[in-house]
Each structure stands twice: as C-alpha cells, then as structure tokens.
Amino acid sequence: MKLRNIFGNRYKGALGKDMVAVTWKGHEYIREYVTPTNPKTELQVQHRAIFNKAVEAWHGLSPSQRAFYNRIADGMTGYNLFVGRYIEAVRNGREPEMPIVMQWTTEDGQPLEQCWLIVRKRSQEIFLDNLKDAKGEVALTPSDTPYTFVLRRGTQEDAVLTMEDLLEADVPMTLESKTLGIRLIANVSIPPGEVIGNPQ
C-alpha cells in the first residue's frame, strides 16, 4: 500500500523504525510500528512443526500427485488444500492422506493416436492423459472417490469404470472399451507395508 501525504510524498511499508503505512478495510493510514511478538507457546511450536512437515510433504509429492490437488482445489491452490488437509489429519490423530499413484500402459505397449484416458470426479475432469506415449500416470486419493474412468477416441467416449473404493480395487486392473478398441492395464505404486486391493 502506498500513502500520499499533503506534501505529495508517498509512503509504503515501514517508515524508519517508528511508523508503518498500512491499509485496513480499504482505509489507508500510518500507525506506530509494533514489533511482532513470538511467544513460542507449546501449542504454537507444535502447530509450526506440523505446518513445516506438511510443506515438506508437499515438496515430496510427484508431479501427478500435485496435479491432483491443483485440479480438485476449489477457491484455493492445491498447495493450500493439501497443507490444510495434512494439518487437520495430524490434529485429529490420523495419518495424512497421500494420493495413490496409478500407472497405466496400453496392453501391447503401442501408442494410440487421438486417444485419451480421462478421470472424472463426478462431472469434474481431474486428469486427461493422452495415449500417444502408450503410458502415463494419474494420482488419486481414497477420500475423494468415486472416480469415473473414461476412454476417448476422437470425439467418442466410453465410461469403462466407476471406482467407489480406491483401496478395494483389484490391481493390476484392465480399462477396456471394445467399442473404441482401447485396452489399458493399470497398476499402482504401493508404499512398503501397505496392501491395496485383494492380493492375487
């Protein structure tokens, strides 16, 4: 914020060590500079530690995991959504949720031109993955189900799977549209010690 006085001088931010130019509810004014306090109470220290871990976890996400949060965030950034969920989970004694990465390939390993894998959450498109590379990945969270998997060739679409429970999905899974002549094999990256779906 810039503030102009009667002499035409403009001020912004701190004015020496004694005053600061600020805006509050649309009003510009100058007030005494107050050194911010940092009481370091036990609760504040805990909150900062949780926040720092959440930020660290965000930076540890893969591009597809970050893309998931960026696409489902409504009125905020994916970063803010992830950090908020992380902090809420820890405060409530739960393990923070990380998106499960699902890799897919065309069945024969051959690229498919003008074909896509689409993942929707209700009517919202979360991922649109081109099949021209014959492989790709998406990342999904169990708590945001259901997801609908759609295959597209040109302008034709075929919804091939609605996933109600990501943790109960049998993997590897087949995503196939006989109508469109597309068959994909999807598998997930399973963190050590976790089991997803029914063991083969």
Percent of the chain with pLDDT over 70: 79
Predicted confidence at residue 31, as pLDDT, reads 72
143 and 111 in a common domain: yes
Per-residue pLDDT, averaged over 82-107, amounts to 95
151 and 129 in a common domain: yes
111 and 81 in a common domain: no
Query: What is the pTM assigned to this prediction?
Result: 0.74
Q: Which of 156, 140, 144, 151 is nearest to 185 (CA)?
A: 151
- 131-189 tens-digit pLDDT: 999 999 999 999 999 999 999 999 999 999 999 999 898 889 999 999 999 999 999 86
pLDDT(56) > 70 = yes
pLDDT(20) > 90 = no
Per-residue pLDDT, averaged over 95-123, amounts to 95
106 and 182 in a common domain: yes
pLDDT(194) > 50 = no
Instruction: Give how far the C-alpha of residue 21 lies from the chain's centroid of Cα atoms, to the nearest Å.
Output: 37
Q: Which DSSP state fits 1?
A: -
CB distance 151 to 112 below 8 Å: no
Predicted confidence at residue 191, as pLDDT, reads 53
- Asked if the structure places residue 197 within a domain, the reply is no
134 and 107 in a common domain: yes
Predicted confidence at residue 72, as pLDDT, reads 95
pLDDT(9) > 50 = no
84 and 15 in a common domain: no
CB distance 61 to 135 below 8 Å: no
Per-residue pLDDT, averaged over 84-93, amounts to 94
Q: Residue 168 corresponds to which tokens in the numbers above? A: 């109960």
- Asked if the structure places residue 51 within a domain, the reply is yes
Contacts of 147 (CB under 8 A, 6+ apart): 119, 120, 121, 126, 140, 162, 163, 166
Q: What is the Cβ-side half-sphere exposure of residue 37, based on CA atoms within 13 angstroms?
A: 4
- Asked if the structure places residue 193 within a domain, the reply is no
- If one counts the domains in the chain, the total is 3
Q: How far apart are CA 29 and CA 43, in angstroms?
A: 34
- Asked if the structure places residue 199 within a domain, the reply is no
- Asked if the structure places residue 196 within a domain, the reply is no
Predicted confidence at residue 169, as pLDDT, reads 86
- Asked if the structure places residue 117 within a domain, the reply is yes
- Asked if the structure places residue 52 within a domain, the reply is yes
130 vs 24, 79, 107, 175, CA distance in Å? Answer: 48, 25, 15, 15
143 and 119 in a common domain: yes
pLDDT(64) > 70 = yes
104 and 87 in a common domain: no
CB distance 68 to 139 below 8 Å: yes
Q: Which DSSP state fits 101?
A: E
- Asked if the structure places residue 200 within a domain, the reply is no
| Containing structural domain, residue 154 | 100-188
176 and 119 in a common domain: yes
